[in-house]
Amino acid sequence: MGLIDFLKSVEPDKKNSPLLHTAYDAFFTFAYAPNTVTKAGTHIKDGMDLKRLMVIVVLAMQLCYLFGTYNIGHQHFVAAGEYLGFIEGFHLKLAHGLIKMLPIFVVSHIVGLGIEFIYAAKKGHAVEEGYLVTGALIPLIMPPDIPLWIMSLSIIFAVIIGKEAFGGTGMNIWNIALLARVFIFFAYPLTISGDQCWISGFEKISDGAAANYGWWHTGLFNSLFEWMGLTTFDTTTTVVNGFSGATPLALAYEGGWEKVTSVFSESQMIWGAIPGSIGRQ
Amino acid sequence: MNNKMNKLNLTLSLAFIAQITFAQSSSSESSGYLFYGVVALCAVLIIWAMLSIASNLMKIEGAKHGIKEEKMGFFPTLKDFIKPIKPAFINEGSFHHLTKGYDIKLAGEAKPIVENASVSRFAIRPTDFHGMSPIPKMEVEAGADVKAGDVLFYDKKRPEIMYCAPVSGEVVEIRRGEKRSIAEVTILADKELRYKTVQAPDVNKAERSEVVSFMAANGLWPLINERPFDVVPDMATIPANIFITTFDTAPLAPDNNLVVAGKEAAFQKGLDVLSKLTSGMVHLGLDGRGKTVPSSAFSDAVGVGKHWFSGPHPAGNVGIQIHHVAPIKGHDKVWTLTVQEVITIGQMFLTGQYHADRLVALTGAELKDPKYVRTYQGASLGDLLINNLTGDNNRIVAGDVLSGTQATAEGFLSFRSDQITVLKEGNDYELFGWLLPLAPRPSISGTIPAYGGKDFKFEANTNTHGEKRAFVVSGQYEQVLPMDIYPQHLMKAIISNNIEKMEGLGITELTEEDVALCEFACTSKNPLQSLLRQGLDTLKEQL
């Protein structure tokens, strides 16, 4: 029995459980390109479909993700006054970045796709792929310490008001990802503006504030790094004296170009090794 | 092409600059060089932007005064360096190089050998003509004996326009469709055709009205196609221009040089007749792609305007050519004909007989022996394809794969089609087909690897390669339609039934075959051709 026969044998009933069927259909068409043939009009069709188009966009974002994830860790340790060189403490920075970024990425997709599935089941059409791109864009424009419930709220608002209310993918009148950010900016401004939000992993950004390490840091990664003979997360880490967490723009507002260059070098700003949203580089 | 080169250059130069600045910043501790380098680069970019805006403004102003674009402006554009090479054989007429479009290269091209087909059954279908009443008035009954050129039926709304038999023989069946409409009039052909012979008027001396009524009475009028709407024209209409395309860029399309070979005189006669009918001019669209030299019947035709087109499909579509030569304005009507139809008209005026013979290209990867056959209008597909099909999971298309109609072996060629394509049905599942397309398939997207290189001939099947979705602004339509039209906006206007917008967005310049390539390329798999027809029908009702 091939995979396709197995998949066909577990197909849920469309009438009794529409939501389940929609989810099944989404995963089935993910695994297998459907066997539909052209009816009227052109008899052959381009190999490109919406799934592929969207996935190509997501692939194009991966470099941004890679750098953004690492930069979360880098900024964390710069604030702590440790591993100031960009490559120093590579494993710690990457681990911290992943700990911060992955939950945001996963929650963004679960919440957004969940809404898509519900609406697709309700309207009786296949799940459209527009959210694949939105779901990958939203983490890139969020600060690394964003509370997940706030982000979930913003996604629910953006997807329902920005897209589903107007008929779904292709009929939205606003950019969903930006609408999510706008929602947070007005509803919970402190989580997405000011000096406090751009550096992750501390109680708050002020002199001597303690690092906020959880099980993932001290339990999982520390034991892993110990076993590999690498340096580990130090729970006594604090914010170094005199560190403000301000972004270059905030510094420029205070004291002009001089003030900016006293904290960041030009090449840091060109390459993006500065505090900010995950994907702002 | 031009656009791609620009993008490539920009990316390369940015990468190059980044490389230099990175090397500098890592070699010396101070990042001052980098900073001043960026400032200098910005300054250069700003100066360049100002100059190019000024240059463009000069070009616009120049265009108002009728000065050619190339003669104005500061910079040599990229176009000047990669100017399309005009083939040497172009002796007269204008040259248009179109960059938008896509050539779908399919396997199964017809070999340039012409055979005589042994076809016994032919059919004329009233449904091939848009806007005809469903039950035309029949002039013959089943069992009647007809000669080629005898009247079969006419439309009750326009009783002067006759529809004639392409072959002689016995009318064996008048098949009825829904609500007793007439679907097909089938003729069992004689071995030796007998022709009805009439006295054709002398084109040089006769009045226009005399020519028109002769053509209508002898089955020549339905050969003319009127745009907008693709209908058989009214007899009172005087067209602004008449357009004939002498080459076909559609996938596996027949070669018109073969069609016209030996019939040069009839073609020229046809052109002479048509010149009589229009207030404007008869325009020929000629193949300027440079691969083959057009027949002298086309390039040396007299009394017509000549326009050479080079570029990928749809450069050979008459609609595209009209758009670039003399666009349809206001309530203008424009007539279009194919080469074979012009020859039929010419032969009637030369011999007084209705010669509806057609050279038909049998094409497609699922044929054992793709070739050209000589037969008549409305030939039976089963007879044409006998002993030539491989496998049984095939689709037979009367026409090309983009705008042809699906048919069965029991079906007949449509009134205007000169091609049959047979391709595989794509009714099977493909594991991760959207993500990892292992089997080669044609695509305008660079993300699907071009297996086998630029000239690879695809064995495409009829799979939709994805499901239908809502329109997504992906720019694909504009990439393959070399016209000054926004197809996606037009389609949305049609869906929302906004007639004013449809007209404003240029629906009257389009027919199905023009948007067929957009439909092929559509990411969302939307049925653009049927949408366009729906829009045209709505618009026609309003007029």
Question: B40-70: per-residue pLDDT in tens?
Answer: 999 999 999 998 888 888 877 777 776 666 5
Per residue in B113-134, pLDDT (tens digit) is 899 988 999 999 999 998 888 8
B252 shares its domain with B377: yes
Sign of CA dihedral B430, B431, B432, B438: negative
Distance CA B346, CA B396 (A): 32
The answer to whether the beta carbons of residues A75 and A275 sit under 8 Å apart is yes
Residue B109 is assigned to a structural domain of this protein? yes
Residue B17 is assigned to a structural domain of this protein? no
Residue B167 is assigned to a structural domain of this protein? yes
Residue B434 is assigned to a structural domain of this protein? no
Q: How many domains does chain B have?
A: 3
Report the pLDDT value the prediction gives residue B137, as an integer from 0 to 100: 92
Give chain B's mean pLDDT.
88
Residue B450 is assigned to a structural domain of this protein? no
Chain A touched by B538 (CB under 8 Å): no
Distance CA A278, CA B368 (A): 59
B370 shares its domain with B266: yes
Q: Is the pLDDT of residue B29 over 80?
A: no
CB distance B430–A32 less than 8 Å? yes
Q: Which domain holds residue B53?
A: 38-83
Per residue in B514-531, pLDDT (tens digit) is 999 999 999 999 999 999
Chain A touched by B534 (CB under 8 Å): no
Tell how far CA B37 is from the center of its chain. Answer: 52
B476 shares its domain with B380: no
The answer to whether the beta carbons of residues A44 and B423 sit under 8 Å apart is yes
For testing contact with chain B, the best of A5, A25, A48, A267 (most B CBs within 10 A): A48
Residues pairing with B182 in the sheet: B176
* Inter-chain Cβ pairs, chain A and chain B, closer than 8 A: 170
B285 shares its domain with B359: yes
In this structure, the strands spanning B151-154 and B121-124 are unpaired
Angle between helices A130-140 and A90-123 (to 10 degrees): 140
**DSSP codes of every residue in A228-278:** HT-----TT-BPPTT-----HHHHHHHHHHHHHHHHS-HHHHHHT-SSSST
Residue of A nearest to B443 (CA): A46
Per residue in B321-361, pLDDT (tens digit) is 999 999 888 889 999 999 999 999 999 999 999 999 999 99
CB proximity list for B348: less than 8 A, separation 6 or greater: B200, B215, B218, B220, B354, B355
CB proximity list for B480: less than 8 A, separation 6 or greater: B100, B101, B102, B314, B444, B517, B518, B520, B521
Of A52, A168, A267, nearest to B434 by CB-CB distance is: A52
Report the pLDDT value the prediction gives residue B1, as an integer from 0 to 100: 43
B247 shares its domain with B390: yes
B479 shares its domain with B506: yes
Average pLDDT on B257-270 reads: 93
CA nearest neighbour of A234 among A204, A207, A201, A206: A201
Distance CA B359, CA B114 (A): 8
CB distance A43–B401 less than 8 Å? yes
Q: Is the pTM of this model over 0.90?
A: no
B496 shares its domain with B373: no
The answer to whether the beta carbons of residues B435 and A51 sit under 8 Å apart is yes
Per residue in B390-446, pLDDT (tens digit) is 888 899 999 999 999 999 989 999 998 899 999 999 888 888 888 888 788 888 888
B148 shares its domain with B202: yes
φ, ψ of residue B285 in degrees (nearest 5): -95, 120
Calculate Rg over the CA atoms of chain B: 27
SS3 assignment for B485-521: CCHHHHHHHHHCCCHHHHHHCCHHHCCHHHHHHHHHH
Q: Residue A48: its chain B contacts at CB < 8 A?
A: 443-445, 447-448, 465-466, 476, 521, 523
B55 shares its domain with B88: no
Report the pLDDT value the prediction gives residue A57, as an integer from 0 to 100: 92
Report the pLDDT value the prediction gives residue B19, as an integer from 0 to 100: 55
CB proximity list for B238: less than 8 A, separation 6 or greater: B277, B278, B279, B333
Chain B touched by A66 (CB under 8 Å): no
- For residue A44, CA distances in Å to B322, B400, B406, B437 come to 26, 10, 12, 15
B66 shares its domain with B104: no
Structure tokens at A104: 């945001």
- Name the amino acid, one letter, at B407: A
Structure tokens at B68: 């050619």
Distance CA B95, CA B252 (A): 24
Structure tokens at B323: 């758009």
Residue of B nearest to A34 (CA): B429
CB distance A47–B437 less than 8 Å? yes
Q: Which residue has the higher pLDDT, B68 or B257?
A: B257
Average pLDDT on B24-40 reads: 68
B51 shares its domain with B173: no
Looking at B404, B429, B454, which one is the last position of a domain?
B429
CB distance A43–B462 less than 8 Å? yes
Distance CA A68, CA A198 (A): 12
Q: Is the pLDDT of residue B30 over 60?
A: no
Structure tokens at B133: 């009443």
Residue of A nearest to B440 (CA): A47
The answer to whether the beta carbons of residues B142 and B396 sit under 8 Å apart is no
| Structural element, H or E, at residue A4 | helix A3-9
Distance CA B183, CA B173 (A): 10
Residue B32 is assigned to a structural domain of this protein? no
The answer to whether the beta carbons of residues A135 and A108 sit under 8 Å apart is yes
Strands of B394-398's sheet, edge to edge?
A: B111-116, B371-376, B357-363, B419-424, B394-398, B405-407
Structure tokens at B180: 């007793």
Report the pLDDT value the prediction gives residue B107, as an integer from 0 to 100: 92
Per residue in B459-489, pLDDT (tens digit) is 889 999 888 888 888 888 999 999 999 999 9
Chain A touched by B160 (CB under 8 Å): no
CA nearest neighbour of A176 among A137, A146, A223, A217: A137
The answer to whether the beta carbons of residues B200 and B355 sit under 8 Å apart is no
Q: What percent of chain B has pLDDT over 70?
A: 90
Q: Residue B530: its chain A contacts at CB < 8 A?
A: 40-41
Report the pLDDT value the prediction gives residue B392, as an integer from 0 to 100: 85
Q: Residue A131: its chain B contacts at CB < 8 A?
A: none
User: How many Å lie between the alpha carbon of A204 and the closest alpha carbon of chain B?
Assistant: 32
Q: Residue B396: its chain A contacts at CB < 8 A?
A: none
3-state SS class at A2: coil
Instruction: For residue A123, count other CB atoms closer than 10 A to its CB.
Output: 13
CB distance B447–A52 less than 8 Å? yes
pLDDT tens, position by position, for chain A (281 residues)? Answer: 578 888 888 888 888 888 888 888 888 888 888 888 888 889 999 988 898 999 999 999 999 999 999 999 999 999 998 898 888 899 999 999 999 999 999 999 999 999 999 999 888 888 888 899 999 999 999 999 999 999 999 999 999 999 999 888 888 888 999 999 999 999 999 898 888 888 888 888 888 888 889 899 989 999 999 999 999 998 888 998 888 888 888 889 888 888 898 888 888 888 888 998 998 75
Residue B27 is assigned to a structural domain of this protein? no
Residue B30 is assigned to a structural domain of this protein? no
C-alpha atoms less than 13 angstroms from C-alpha of B400 in its C-beta half-sphere: 26
- For residue A38, CA distances in Å to A125, B269, B476 come to 19, 41, 19
CB distance B466–A44 less than 8 Å? no
Report the pLDDT value the prediction gives residue B308, as an integer from 0 to 100: 94
Report the pLDDT value the prediction gives residue A279, as an integer from 0 to 100: 85
Q: Residue A34: its chain B contacts at CB < 8 A?
A: 429, 464, 466-467
The answer to whether the beta carbons of residues B223 and B377 sit under 8 Å apart is no
The answer to whether the beta carbons of residues B338 and B244 sit under 8 Å apart is yes
ipTM of the complex: 0.84
- For residue B110, CA distances in Å to B286, B360, B395, B470, B520 come to 21, 10, 17, 38, 22
C-alpha atoms less than 13 angstroms from C-alpha of B111 in its C-beta half-sphere: 8
Which residues in B333-478 belong to E strands, given as ranges? 334-337, 357-363, 371-376, 394-398, 405-407, 419-424, 430-431
Q: Is the pLDDT of residue B15 over 70?
A: no
Distance CA A138, CA A106 (A): 11
Per residue in B285-320, pLDDT (tens digit) is 999 998 889 999 999 999 999 999 999 989 999 999
B126 shares its domain with B268: yes
Q: Residue B445: its chain A contacts at CB < 8 A?
A: 46-48, 52
Distance CA A202, CA A76 (A): 8
* H helix intervals, B285-376: 296-299, 318-325, 339-351
DSSP state letter for B195: B
The answer to whether the beta carbons of residues A21 and A122 sit under 8 Å apart is no
Q: Is the pLDDT of residue B136 over 80?
A: yes
3-state SS class at A33: strand
Chain B touched by A126 (CB under 8 Å): yes
User: How many Å lie between the alpha carbon of A127 and the closest alpha carbon of chain B?
Assistant: 9
In this structure, the strands spanning B241-245 and B182-189 are unpaired
Chain A touched by B474 (CB under 8 Å): yes
For testing contact with chain B, the best of A29, A32, A45 (most B CBs within 10 A): A45
